[in-house]
Structure 1
């Protein structure tokens, strides 16, 4: 069985961005018909979200205009193609790979709908081989960045000498619901931003980069109500149950310790936590749990602050930060994300 190495991670951001303080006037305008107490509460959510800045595929003022699902999705399709093309080009240049050397391409997105999926456009745009194997992953939400790594690893471990690109492009902005005054919509508006990431992986003998030692998914029973989207006539409407952080806390030991044990490791041996920043409460919950074990998730917190939660791409931004550090041989990293299902996805890597 061949080993899988993470060769390169690149990120790409949309053209538009605003700091949270500059978004607040838009939020106040949007909520002007709502009662005062509710408006104050929502502003507090934005101010306390631990997100200083976020990027978007459309100007922020356009986000707060009532447009149809079709209009928003058309912007999503147009911009996702651009972001996906740019981030894949960037990753290939970093690794000094030709696009035609890719054997597999996995694309990840859950914030819009396009058929054919993004990978088909990337094949044409970058001149990938006609026999490249495609896998679009569309309905795994925030967990899908790590799901993509798991699928990539499974492709590569049974196929030595191969190369794969994982491209995650998300635009939660395109799912924003103007007429939804639920807490789920308020919280998601306060924490989400848009962005793209690409990871190149290889099972070639001479490949450089951290090695994937193990990967597993963990599916919570009877928890499909915790997170997801309802498809309405106005688009994708956010489902976000307030019980998510406590559910994570409750099952945390089951999610972490047996997985590490099965891969010949333990939490003492894990030097780095590459955790998906779902939002401030989830980050705090996980920080407390890991803090007790003497670990920090500073890079996770920093990615949330700089970009917000970009759904599946976010954990790959955290991974990129670790790829840029000068880490010692033998150091281990635990990648962890949660998403609809409800599920936890884990990957253990070693430098």
Structure 2
């Protein structure tokens, strides 16, 4: 299956990690000790900037190519990384998550959060779709099958119908939705797309992954949920695919792979609560990945007559800096092999399912980045992979 066009999109407004920590302190912390711990956690997250549909204003965007340390001035005058010019800016503003009024305050209800998801998910996904179509050999009317991926919201008529109407797809387009699979959802989407393409070489397939993770900001001092708060962000990514080479041949999805690690169901959970979706991530996850990834990946690549050393590019979902480090240690990476995943985490945060497509898009801009392996981890605990060549 050929990837004929890739597109990405983020909400209009973004926030530096230091300012996000200041907001989180008003939602999660009961005392000064917790505030200090939260601030330190946010600093160690590997994230420097993220976008959210809940924001009503922005801070200057982090630019890793200019900034030396990835940080913003914490005073009233913030430095625009793109220009180096100090400029007076208003504090970032959001009103959706009001400061906690008591330890029992859990913030907006799930229904309120889903209203915001319905308002923004289709618009954001459509932005990435239109970019992917613009970069492909096909028009919206050429698309035969639409695959949508999301784990952060539900409504009906849903994301698929919104994209069809906003982007001008034919009303007869076939639809498949992949829901609630977490950070590896886009890799499952690629598997479905590849299966459709193999079954019918004439199909033109569009896949769109949209996540509004920040709608599920959790209140109160729950250590595992505070970790999730520090990482998650909003974004969308789309790709156009076809079975046969097009006029502008792109990278090819050669194979996909999947495994569920034994006795790991309690290590990563994603539950629907009365006040948002509740993500729990055990600190034991990185050690399990480090222990199990290399033998599974070696066997899977071996079925395709490749070794780990044959892989020239790595698009690894940045579930957090410790997960990336565990992958690097398990696969004995040389310096720089995680740099693209680390950069996307720093500039955008963990956007769940679209994130690996942001990484792939940037990786493909580098020379000699193929063959590439895409990796994602999700509830199960499961490993999902795609081989791109």
For the aligned pair, the TM-score class normalised by the smaller chain equals over 0.9
Q: Which residue in 1 is equivalent to 2:387?
A: 348
Cα separation, 2, equivalents of 1:301 and 1:206: 32
**Alignment: residue pair count:** 343
Once structures 1 and 2 are overlaid, which stretch shifts more, 96-105 or 124-133? 124-133
Say whether 1:192 aligns with 2:239.
Answer: no
Question: What is the rounded CA distance, in whole Å, between the counterparts of 2:244 and 2:255 in structure 1?
Answer: 18
CA contact (8 A) 1:63 1:173 kept: no
Number of the residue aligned with 1:9: 6
CA distance in 2, matches of 1:127, 1:36: 52
CA shift, 1:216, in A, is: 1.2
User: Displacement of 1:163 after TM fit?
Assistant: 1.2
The answer for the alignment partner of 2:311 in structure 1 is: 270
- Among 31, 34, 37, the residue aligned to 1:35: 31
Superposed displacement of residue 131, structure 1? 3.0
| 1:31 positional shift | 4.0
Q: Distance in 2 between matches of 1:90 and 1:167?
A: 11
Unaligned runs of 5+ in 1: none
Structure 1 residues 225, 89: CA separation in 2 closer, same or farther (over 3 Å shift)?
same
Counterpart of 1:21 in structure 2 is 18
Q: In the TM superposition, what are the counterparts of 1:161-310 in structure 2 within 5 Å?
A: 161-178=202-219, 180-206=220-246, 208-292=249-333, 296-310=337-351
Q: Once the 2 structures are TM-superposed, how far is the Cα of residue 74 of structure 1 from its aligned partner? A: 0.6
Counterparts of residues 75-90 of structure 1 (less than 5 Å): 75-90=116-131
CA distance in 2, matches of 1:29, 1:221: 39
Query: How far off its partner does 1:292 sit?
Result: 4.6
Q: Find the counterpart in structure 1 of residue 89 from structure 2.
A: none
Q: Compute the displacement of 1:144 (Å).
A: 0.5
Consecutive unaligned residues in structure 2, runs of 5 or more: 56-92, 99-106
CA RMSD of aligned residues (A): 1.7
Cα distance between partner residues in 1 of 2:351 and 2:382: 18
Displacement of 1:250 in angstroms is 1.4
Selected match of 1:68 from 93, 109, 116: 109
Structure having the higher helix fraction is 1
| 1:23–1:235 distance in 2 versus 1, CA, 3 Å | closer
